[in-house]
Amino acid sequence: MYLPEYASTFIDLLEDFVPATTTSRGAVPRKVLPLLETDLRPAACCPAIAAAPLDEEDAALTSSLFKALADPHRVRIVNLLATNDEPVCVCDITTAVGLAQPTVSFHLKKLVSSGLVDREQRGTWGYYSPNRKALARLSGVFSTTGGKS
For the chain, the domain total comes to 2
Identify which of 41, 17, 45, 21 has the alpha carbon closest to the alpha carbon of residue 31.
17
* Residues 116 and 134 both lie in one domain: yes
Q: What pLDDT was estimated at residue 33?
A: 43
Distance CA 83, CA 130 (A): 9
> Average pLDDT of 11-19?
46
* Residues 3 and 74 both lie in one domain: no
* Residues 121 and 71 both lie in one domain: yes
> Average pLDDT of 55-74?
86
Q: What is the DSSP letter of 97?
A: H
* Residues 60 and 108 both lie in one domain: yes
Is 148 domain-assigned?
no
Omega before residue 53 within 30° of 0, cis: yes
User: Is 4's pLDDT higher than 50?
Assistant: no
What are the tens digits of pLDDT across the range 111-143?
A: 999 889 999 999 999 999 999 888 887 877 776
* Residues 90 and 23 both lie in one domain: no
Which domain CATH number covers 130?
1.10.10.10
Query: Which residues constitute the domain of residue 133?
Result: 42-142
* Residues 60 and 121 both lie in one domain: yes
